[in-house]
Chains A and B, each alone.
Chain A
């Protein structure tokens, strides 16, 4: 089962705190969408509004064709997978997974069959008689997923589902989540603060900050062409170079780059560390001195100081084949497509 979601002009206040600001978003049926942002950005509040645990102060929530804004959680075609999983400790895994079916009045045999089916989907069929406390964190996470899917929701809401797991397990579970989502076809809305997780699993990422949507789009687009300085920074490390835009383009201490669409005034030029090149192609940024460099396997990460701007420190990802020495002078350049620019307003 799957359905589209449409949020219109949502606003929510907790007392005087403006937690959600003018949120409008459309999610297609079967899409895997991630709400990404730092803690306190409103992503969990937004998920609670979707799940029916919070009624928004303003705006509407539509799932499929129906207005769900004021429909309680029990009557929504959504289920939530909670951050602490909220597995019922006094029930076996099978009873946990079958709980929603039991509430729907489905006969015991039928619901046990369905529960076993879902436990099989997450690879825990053999453990169906166990209690939650006998499981590892990753296994509990799977049971929570099976329980949420057992009632065949149209939209599954996941609140930091991998937050309690260690890094290695988290990466493994990402793949599994994505895989299961493909199998069931349900719309998944997933909250996280981990941008790598978001990139690994999402069809589309919604970056949030201070209650607002900063940017929304496929991972590649958001990483390479972020709509705001905040989204640019949140998706990964970014070099900021102050610039002044005039009719000649954006002038910086390192180079002047074309800036056709920007209004005159102060701006920030953004370049990802891996976009700084040594092969001289693109726009030349002049010479820079290596302050220090560290080997990372896939690349070496260097702090470099441009000769033209001794107060500036840039981070560059250089090829892993050779570790540059401290004090070495390198030529930096960047391809025009790898530059993003934000004026004070768009920042």
Chain B
């Protein structure tokens, strides 16, 4: 087999996937980019290099506020999720007997596989005015009146944290168990206590994994529509919610596209800011 025929065959194998990605991802993406520079006059679309949509994003309060809200929620969720997931992953990796670890981990992330529309709805059950939390607190006499939990940022963050704690537990656990147990033994052997071992050895060694997981959380969280829509209500809107508003009521595709591009730009910035910590090839 000559190099040339081999190469032609190689192309034959790769081509279908490439064409699919090109036709249904890259082209639509470019069209969306072009669309963000188009503008609507009445109901007719005018292509061109208009910056109207981007101007609108920075000048219209409900649009730029959505960016802020999204960023605030996403950062809160990322930080809280990492802080809650790390101990859970560490307990599974270091305290649970090895033969049980896989099972405990599997159980810890099983609800991860609930459809996420259903998962958000399930949190609504828990947090609603008549829901589980309020009823329980009232029954034990801690509160007299139901407190507002659903349709708040708290509810959105709770729903997100629930999801990402499971995701991060998985990635951090994977990181912890691939460390040689001798690192911990060596640190303790040399006189480090449990905290020092964590601070000087385990944490630095798992930092790339944490950064990767946190970045994944950031990307998935900032782009999600369902959780804020179901749990956050309409008191404050996130970027995906604002995009969906443009698509629904007003069919303003150019503005929706511009918002989508802005959202991507934010993710790209986040990536560049954290790139040196990330090991995306080791997810």
Identify the A interface with B (CB < 8 A). 51-53, 72-75, 78-80, 82-84, 86, 88-90, 99-100, 102-104, 147, 151
Contact = CB atoms under 8 A, between A and B. Distances in A.
B205 A86 contact: no
B186 A103 contact: no
Contact of A86 (B185, B191, B192, B204): B185
B185 A147 contact: no
A190 B231 CA distance: 62
Interface centre among B187, B190, B192, B196 (most CB of A within 10 A): B190
27 contacts: A51-B189, A52-B189, A53-B185, A74-B189, A74-B192, A74-B193, A75-B191, A79-B189, A79-B190, A80-B185, A80-B186, A80-B189, A83-B182, A84-B182, A86-B182, A86-B185, A86-B186, A88-B204, A90-B204, A99-B190, A99-B200, A102-B200, A103-B187, A103-B191, A103-B196, A147-B186, A147-B190
Nearest to B194: A74
Contacts of B201: 88
Contacts of B193: 74
B116 interface: no
Nearest to A53: B185
Contacts of B189: 51-53, 73-74, 78-80
Q: Which 8 A-B pairs have the closest CB atoms?
A: A100-B190, A86-B182, A103-B191, A86-B186, A82-B182, A73-B189, A90-B204, A103-B192
Contacts of B204: 88, 90
Interface residues of B, number: 17
A53 B193 CA distance: 14
Interface in B163-193: 180, 182-183, 185-193
B205 A90 contact: yes
Contacts of B191: 74-75, 100, 103-104, 151
Interface of B: 180, 182-183, 185-193, 196, 200-201, 204-205
Interface centre among B189, B191, B192, B205 (most CB of A within 10 A): B189
Nearest to A105: B191
Contacts of A90: 204-205
Contacts, number: 59
A84 B185 contact: no
A83 B189 CA distance: 14
A103 B190 contact: yes
Nearest to A89: B205
Contacts of A80: 185-186, 189
Given A74-B191, A89-B205, 16 more contacts: A72-B188, A73-B188, A74-B189, A74-B192, A75-B191, A79-B189, A82-B185, A83-B182, A88-B186, A88-B187, A88-B201, A88-B205, A90-B205, A99-B187, A99-B190, A103-B196
B188 A84 contact: no
A53 B187 CA distance: 12
A90 B200 CA distance: 10
A149 to B, nearest CB: 11
A73 B182 contact: no
B186 to A, nearest CB: 4
Contacts of B196: 103
A151 B191 CA distance: 9
A317 B189 CA distance: 47
A88 B190 contact: no
B180 A86 contact: yes
B209 to A, nearest CB: 13
A13 B188 CA distance: 24
A75 B193 CA distance: 10
Contacts of B200: 88, 99, 102
Contacts of A72: 188
B208 to A, nearest CB: 10
Interface centre among B186, B187, B196 (most CB of A within 10 A): B186
